[in-house]
Amino acid sequence: MLLLAIDTSTTAITVALHDGHAVVAEQTTLDARAHAEHLAPNIHSALAQAGAGPSDVTGVVVGIGPGPFTGLRVGIVSGRTFALGLGVPVHGLCSLDALAHEAWVGGHRGRLLAATDARRKEVYAAEFLLDDRGLTRVAGPVVSRAADLDEKWRALPVAGRGPRLYPADLGRSADDGSEPSGIRPLPLDVSAGALADLATRRLATGDELDGLEPLYLRRPDVATAPPTRKSTLG
């Protein structure tokens, strides 16, 4: 097994390979705008790091967001195209689940908010419960101004860049130094390694993944213009 994981839902353009036991390669570039430019080189670098070629990949998993329209689309389309070219299965997984999974692997337990940058002074957010068995998404994802989120959500520890962007509105940040000894800091961005690990665990137990429908949560900025009076008269 060699699972290729791709996520472009956040600032991180991230790619990883998982052999069914562990992540064997991961490449990540932080760039809020140039997802298309960085994704293909990161795939090539991850394959080289693992000593593998495209034909060695047996499956693909893509983060389906939520995320901004353009960046999210780059990862999903690339993953689907890669899988189609090789004739291997492709799966989708909520990107916020990957954030929560990385927190779980890092030793965090209890209620957790994942909150990533949605731009327009908003965040994408979801609540999770982390216990010894794994994670459960309790509510969300939603898109909202941080200050308008439920007060109980805003008081939770937060994975993602939400607290850095809106420190007055969201709870404990990912790197405030308050974690107990042996507990890793909460992640800031989605890791393709965490996405691959969570997908591998769910596939091994027969759990369903999330399909390939992207979670944009709002309509795209570009829409078909309404017909003009001249075009309707012609």
Q: pLDDT per residue over 107-140, tens digit each?
A: 999 999 999 999 999 999 999 999 999 999 999 9
What distance in Å separates the CA atoms of residue 81 and residue 159, rounded to the nearest whole number? 30
The string of DSSP letters for 63-126 reads E--S--HHHHHHHHHHHHHHHHHHT--EEEE-HHHHHHHHHHHTT--EEEEEEEEEETTEEEEE
Which of the listed CATH numbers 3.30.420.40, 1.10.1740.10, 3.20.20.70, 3.40.50.2000 matches domain 3-94+191-204? 3.30.420.40
Residue 1's pLDDT band, with cuts at 50, 70 and 90, is very high
Q: Does domain 96-165 have CATH number 1.10.260.40?
A: no
- pLDDT tens digits for range 69-107: 989 999 999 999 999 999 999 999 999 999 999 999 999
Instruction: Report how far apart the first and last C-alpha atoms of the chain are (Å, whole number).
Output: 59
Q: What pLDDT score does 220 carry?
A: 54
Q: Report domain extents, the chain.
A: 3-94+191-204, 96-165
pLDDT at 174 over 60: no
Residue 141's closest CA among 75, 43, 218, 73?
218
Domains 3-94+191-204 and 96-165 share a fold: yes
Query: What is the model's pLDDT at position 218?
Result: 79
**Do 74 and 92 touch, CB atoms closer than 8 A?**
no
- ∠ at Cα 176 (172, 178), nearest 5°? 85
pTM for the full model?
A: 0.90
